Chain A
Amino acid sequence: MKRNIPLLITAFSGLVLILAYFIPMTQSWGEVAAIWFDILASIAFILGGGNLIKLHARKMALRQAGWAYSAITLLAFALTLFIGLSKIGVSPNLQFPDMAWSGHYRESGAPFWWIYEYAFKPLTATTFSMLAFYIASAAFRAFRAKNLEAILLLGTAFIILLGRTFAGIILTSWLPDSLAGLRIENLTVEIMRVVNTAGSRAIMIGIALGVASTSLKVLLGVDRSYLGSGEE
């Protein structure tokens, strides 16, 4: 019962979406299923938040290493959530100024906007910008022209790195028009248009077959890993 009904739900919901593709009169069923899916996706954020609280509260309660940082995480989470949900400092909608909650939660200048602009945005952007440093370090440590395949990879990388900047244009601008195809910027275009397309397309076809097979296994109940262990 605890596992059979979910299997039936999986199969049925998948079948509705598949039928909606092929039978026009079932299109609205597919839309309804997709709308419910979209709502559940936003409720999953609550699940994520709850999990965060559970994890960090446990760390604090057990005084595990780094529990003070968990306290900071929970404080930041609670503050953001409270300010955002309560619409503190948000002016009401100009068409309904007597309704305090009618304003838009992302209003520029409001505390929630301030948290986004001066905390969330710089922290996220800077964390991802660190990758530029790591890619330089990885390029120095890992990329070795050990064999023909590695030479092909590195050679292509050099052509792309030069060809997508002004350096490539300067380096091969002296080539006559009859050999224009060998200019680095043109080589870059040809590599992307022909060779990269060929390789990416083959990968895409392979992945598509893999996704189709996995989806079928899930819908037919062959793959039940999403139900978790059979302990409950």
Chain B
Amino acid sequence: MKRETLIWSVLLVLGFLGLTGRALLTDRGMANVYVRAVDRTLVQVETEAEAAEAGGVLSKRWVDAEAPEAADLDLASLGADQVRKVTTYEQVLPNDYYRAVSEDPDQAQIRWSASRTVGVWVAAIFTLAIFSFLYKDNVFYKIAESILVGVSAGYWMVVGFWDIIVPNLMGKLWPALVKGWAMPGLEAQPEPLYWVPLILGVMLVWRLSPKGSWISRWPLAFIIGTTAGLRLISFLHANFLAQISNSIVPLIVMEGGQVDIAESVRSLVLIVGILSCLVYFFFSFEHKGAVGKTAKLGIWFLMITFGAGFGYTVMGRIALLAIRLEFLFDDWLWLIDPSNARILFSAIS
């Protein structure tokens, strides 16, 4: 085994032992996530008002057992198909757990969540695996990267299916089927026109086929044509005409009957800047003489623009790193507590 590998292996093992020891053997632990269990009993009710609206046919709906509509019901007499027990979980702060335990040590409503706590550890391991690339490319980074690619693609497909394909395509073509299966609140009539995007969609997926992939050209052409049509007008309107309009500002700005020198200078610099940058972009003219000098001024304006862009980009990137380190130090290692989410621990320890 190479010396460097041996050192890293020893460090990893020691680090792992140290962290698990801190998590399992200390009173407060670390990375613990707590949830509140909310138990609900739902019962099926029939109401006269609904029956009247439905033309005398009794209609049923589900309500909470403590709702006014269920006040007259005897739960014990209801059949198994008329009662449902559902438990939902909502994440709470460690403070809520400490408070609950200090008031009633035997309470079970607020409890430690194994899946979410394991999740925090998994997230931390993934974070460190990605960061390990900064030292050297390694197998942990490659595994994390592979998982990222797979999970991202899967996530996008699931979102596309449940948020668009089911309600906007299947729900338009076969609303009764979708209502009976996944969207009971859907109220719609079939719209045959939606066969067009369905057929175009099937043709689009044909692109994956080794033969006949030319079939996908029709939906691609539709996508390209729609995009081109949308952008032609919007770019000319918002990014060309509106920008010319925004640039037509008074060169001498009056404020209370007097010349506002600062605003006037701003307007002048703005106009000169825009025009000189546009002169620079005229590459079909040779940049000589007056044109050359104006283009040079345009370059200076552009350099200041790019410098400002760089400054803002740096700002953006650092904030992304800050939130990851906050996760590691706050949510995982419990080294800091900026939100005072664990401040009550000292009260119960």
Contact = CB atoms under 8 A, between A and B. Distances in A.
Interface residues of B, number: 129
Interface residues on A, range: 35 or more
B321 A129 contact: yes
B266 to A, nearest CB: 5
Contact of A102 (B149, B183, B308): B183
Contact of A126 (B147, B227, B324): B324
Contacts of A130: 130-131, 133-134
Nearest to A77: B150
A120 B302 contact: no
Interface string B294-325: 00001111111111111111110110110110
Interface stretch (B12-20, B46-54, B156-164, B252-260): B156-164
A119 B213 contact: no
A91 B307 CA distance: 52
Interface in B52-96: 61-62, 64, 81, 84, 86, 88-91
A149 B303 contact: yes
B307 A42 contact: no
Contact of A196 (B233, B308, B318): B308
Contact of A12 (B61, B213, B225): B225
A109 B89 contact: yes
A14 B150 contact: no
Contacts of B298: 202
B269 A195 contact: yes
Nearest to B237: A21
B155 A164 contact: no
A156 B35 CA distance: 49
Given A77-B150, A227-B221, A211 B303 contact: no
Contacts of B214: 2, 232
A60 interface: no
B208 interface: yes
B260 to A, nearest CB: 14
Contacts of A132: 317-318, 320-321
A17 B115 contact: no
B205 A11 contact: no
Q: Interface majority SS on B: helix, strand, loop or mixed?
A: helix
Given A47-B205, A50-B205, A202-B281, A76 B317 contact: no
B181 to A, nearest CB: 6
Contacts of B22: none
A27 interface: no
B88 A125 contact: no
A43 B165 contact: yes
Most buried by B among A12, A43, A181: A43
Contacts of B218: 5-6, 9
Given A14-B229, A77-B154, A80-B151, A199 B304 contact: yes
B231 A215 contact: yes
B291 interface: no
A123 B130 contact: yes
Most buried by B among A7, A139, A211: A211
B222 A32 contact: no
Nearest to A84: B158
A110 to B, nearest CB: 10
A13 B231 CA distance: 13
B146 A72 contact: yes
A207 B311 contact: no
Nearest to A160: B311
Interface string A162-204: 0010000000000000000100000000111111111111111
Contact of B86 (A14, A94, A114, A208): A94
Nearest to A75: B150
B154 A84 contact: yes
Interface in B101-158: 115-116, 119-120, 122-124, 126-127, 130-131, 133-134, 142-158
A39 B307 CA distance: 41
A45 B239 CA distance: 30
Contacts of B185: 93, 95
B193 interface: yes
B244 interface: yes
Contacts of A199: 273, 277, 301-302, 304-306
B277 A198 contact: yes
Given A121-B123, A152-B303, A13 B277 contact: no
Across the A-B interface, the 9 shortest Cβ-Cβ residue pairs: A198-B273, A160-B311, A80-B154, A156-B307, A76-B150, A199-B305, A84-B158, A17-B229, A202-B277
Given A77-B150, A202-B277, 16 more contacts: A10-B221, A36-B197, A39-B165, A115-B155, A118-B123, A119-B151, A125-B323, A152-B307, A160-B310, A164-B311, A164-B315, A197-B273, A198-B273, A199-B305, A228-B217, A232-B213
